[in-house]
Structure 1
Amino acid sequence: MKIIVLAPVHRYDDIRVFRKEAASLAAAGHEVVLFARTPDGKPRTENGVTVIPVNYRSRWQRFAQLPRLAATAYRGNADVYHLHNPDTLPLAAWLWFQGCCVIYDTHEDFREEILLRRWLPKFIRRPAAVAIAAAESIAGKILAGVIVTQEQLLSRIPEAVVIGNPPIVDVALARAALVARANMPATAEVTLGYLGGISEDRGLFRMLDLLGAMNEVRATRLRLIGYPVNDDALSRAKERPEWQWVDYRGELPQSEAHRQLIGVDAGLVLFQDVASHRHIDPNKIYEYMMLGIPFVATNFDDWRHRVTTNSAGPAGIFVDSNECPGEAARMVLDLVTSRERSLEASEAGVGYVVSEYSWQAAGAPMLFALYDRVQDAIRNTALRRP
């Protein structure tokens, strides 16, 4: 089949959009064309996926060019149009009216997440959240398929398929990370790590509070990798005294980011209890596991359930969102300064993602099953474009 993927919000090499879904579909023999942002504004072909650049200077320009994007995609005459996130809901509706086969793919519960978008005027956020929730519910009823990452979304989109965020596991890398960690020399300084979007709601200030408390007991640094999202928290963080202990590396290609993280004593995922954070499938935890890094995560029930009802139980620790920084620091130090406990956590994490929860074993098969169902419907003419 020819599949056109529309993801104008995302960089072309986005982990979920490109490396997990588009590349998997291309490897399965489909012709895949991806419309997404590129750093140089030029088309490219990578991992069997043809990338068409979608570039803009502002968010409003992004919205303004959606009609042209829809028309260009329509002329591509695809068998399936796979659209990512709420920006593309108007395109999904228009393509459906043209008789196209459309799959809608939402990565978060945007009914909640839109309330955190500070670039959006505050008086618009709640009406926008209501409109998005209603549109996604309708999409579930009329489109060929809907993909969500959170099980609680099934209450308003019962037709959806839940495909979580398991990591793409490089078994050789995971095994090498374990060997490297077992051979790491003891050091006087503790190094913590974080990889991902940087904002207040994603725990930037909680990480700084923890960093300050740990430095009262033991020299500690934070290796911060990622890019600012949602707010200006990064610029505000640079004004805090704890910033002296931060090594900010900016946004890096995934392979380089992973290389920079190997060797940190613990990986942080200290999200605040806002929006739908407590329900997300926390990809960062799984990435840390694959790299043999013990995790320190917010104590959300859904997160704890995912990684303590299986072999990943001792792969890290959970810290309550209202835990005082001093107590959190004590818990982290107990984890990272015990070589036996740290290695046990590393082995448990690697074992879990290699044998139980990888994209190859838990994500890609569900994506392929959805596409098999859609392809059968197309063959039966139920979803054939006129």
Structure 2
Amino acid sequence: MKVAHLTSAHPRYDTRIFLKECRSLAAAGHEVTLVVADGRGDEQRDGVRIVDVGKLPGRWNRIFKTTRRVLVRARSLAADVYHLHDPELMPIGRRLKRQGRTVVYDAHEDLPRQMLAKHYLNGTVSRMLSRGVEVYQRRACGDFDAVVAATPYIRDRFAEFHPRVVDVNNFPMQGELSGAPDPTLAASPEEPPSVCYVGGIAPIRGIREIVRAMESVDQECRLQLAGSFNQLAVEQEVMTYAGWARVEAHGYLDRDGVRRVMGGSLAGLVTLHPVINYLDALPVKMFEYMSAGVAVIASDFPLWREIVVGNDCGLCVDPLDPPAIAEAIDFLVANPVRAREMGANGQRAVAERYNWQQEEDKLLDTYRALSG
């Protein structure tokens, strides 16, 4: 089949969209085109044709003008299946559907619940927006041919009104992050051991508490910080904390850089705040830490505790309590053998259950059903 994946907001090498879904479909024999809007031009990569509609400044331009460009390019492809990756593309999906096209919506997030977590909106406004998004999402996606959900929880939400929904979880590709140096060892005998945080950096993702925790860590330890801050003011703020003296900030890293940072760390932090859209999420980085053989320090949410404690691959803490985070770091630094055991347990769990190869089968099965 000719397949077109469409995004107006994600980078062209997005882990879920390009590295996993598009490459898996191409490897299965489909003719795959990925339409992006980053201004970096067209290219052919890993069996996927990448088509760029150009980047426009500003969010409103992206939502209104860029989406129109995506629609024009999508129509020109005459694909058998159009696979949408952004909520702002739902109107495009409806127009394609009215023209008789097969349309799949990929629900990366629970958008209505995400509205409730917007800190800059008051409660009444966020509830109204959430309800409005819920109504529109049901109306739009109800017309689509299939919904691919990033978690079982999101799957169940869409299954309330759509007959063809499948969860294709964002689990790691086996071997991508493993094979790195022993994660319980420091880079050299003279250097202290490290823990790491990899991913987008924001207050809601716990950056303030993590850096505060480094002030209280008793063991010799460094924090390897890999990712970009979403706000300059927050970056400037945490740089004034005493714990920043124990931070090595790497900025955004490619996959090789991520592998090196994880490979040189004895634990990975994923201490997101207990906001409504995180409680039932399956954070990619948690499973990537596990895949790399790195012990996990995670927020003590029921679903996450079931995974982390259930597989004995790390520790769960109150993400709003810097001393609790520091205590977990101290324990793993002081007990490297135990940290290594937890890391191995996590790696085993990924090999047996939480891996992309199993999720890929569900994606391919969905496409086979659409072609029939």
Q: TM-score, normalised by structure 2?
A: 0.90
Q: Is the 8 A contact 2:199 2:227 kept in 1?
A: yes
SS of equivalent residue, structure 1 residue 198? coil
Kindly provide the CA deviation profile for residues 115-163 of structure 1, in whole angstroms up to 9, marking residues without a partner as x.
4557889986544432322232234432110111233334541132111
Question: Which moves more between the two structures, 292-301 or 236-245?
Answer: 236-245
Residues 19 and 119 (structure 1), Cα distance of their counterparts in 2 relative to 1, 3 Å cut: farther
Q: CA deviation at 1:75?
A: 1.9
Counterpart position of 1:130: 131
Of the three residues 198, 202, 215, the one matched with 2:201 is 198
Counterpart position of 2:371: 375
- How many aligned residue pairs are there? 365
Q: Is the 8 A contact 1:117 1:230 kept in 2?
A: no
In 2: Cα distance, 1:230 partner to 1:238 partner:
13
1:133-212 paired onto structure 2 within 5 Å: 133-158=134-159, 159=162, 160-170=165-175, 174=178, 176-177=179-180, 180-181=182-183, 189-212=192-215
Question: Which moves more between the two structures, 140-149 or 180-189?
Answer: 180-189
Counterpart position of 2:35: 35
In 1: Cα distance, 2:184 partner to 2:240 partner:
37
1:228-307 paired onto structure 2 within 5 Å: 228-229=229-230, 232-307=233-308
SS of equivalent residue, structure 2 residue 10? strand
Kindly provide the CA deviation profile for residues 54-97 of structure 1, in whole angstroms up to 9, marking residues without a partner as x.
42221111012212321221121110000012111111111111
Counterpart position of 1:218: 219
The AA in structure 2 aligned to 1:252 is L
Residues 144 and 108 (structure 1), Cα distance of their counterparts in 2 relative to 1, 3 Å cut: same
The AA in structure 2 aligned to 1:367 is L
The percentage of aligned residue pairs carrying the same residue is 28
In 1: Cα distance, 2:30 partner to 2:355 partner:
22
1:41-120 paired onto structure 2 within 5 Å: 41-54=40-53, 55-65=55-65, 66-116=67-117
Kindly provide the CA deviation profile for residues 193-229 of structure 1, in whole angstroms up to 9, marking residues without a partner as x.
0111111111111211211111xx2333211111234
SS of equivalent residue, structure 2 residue 227? strand
SS of equivalent residue, structure 1 residue 143? coil
The yes-or-no answer on 1:355 pairing with 2:352 is yes
In 1: Cα distance, 2:339 partner to 2:189 partner:
12
Residues 23 and 137 (structure 1), Cα distance of their counterparts in 2 relative to 1, 3 Å cut: same
The AA in structure 2 aligned to 1:319 is V
Which stretches in structure 1 are left out of the alignment for 5+ residues?
377-386
Counterpart position of 1:383: none
Q: CA deviation at 1:321?
A: 3.2
The yes-or-no answer on 1:10 pairing with 2:42 is no
The AA in structure 2 aligned to 1:48 is G
Q: CA deviation at 1:230?
A: 7.5
Residues 165 and 270 (structure 1), Cα distance of their counterparts in 2 relative to 1, 3 Å cut: same
In 2: Cα distance, 1:120 partner to 1:3 partner:
38
Kindly provide the CA deviation profile for residues 4-57 of structure 1, in whole angstroms up to 9, marking residues without a partner as x.
11111100000001101111111111111111244x521111111111124222
Residues 37 and 117 (structure 1), Cα distance of their counterparts in 2 relative to 1, 3 Å cut: farther
Residues 77 and 372 (structure 1), Cα distance of their counterparts in 2 relative to 1, 3 Å cut: same
Q: CA deviation at 1:103?
A: 0.2
SS of equivalent residue, structure 1 residue 276? helix
Which stretches in structure 2 are left out of the alignment for 5+ residues?
none
Counterpart position of 1:382: none
Q: CA deviation at 1:336?
A: 2.5
The AA in structure 2 aligned to 1:374 is L
SS of equivalent residue, structure 2 residue 26? helix
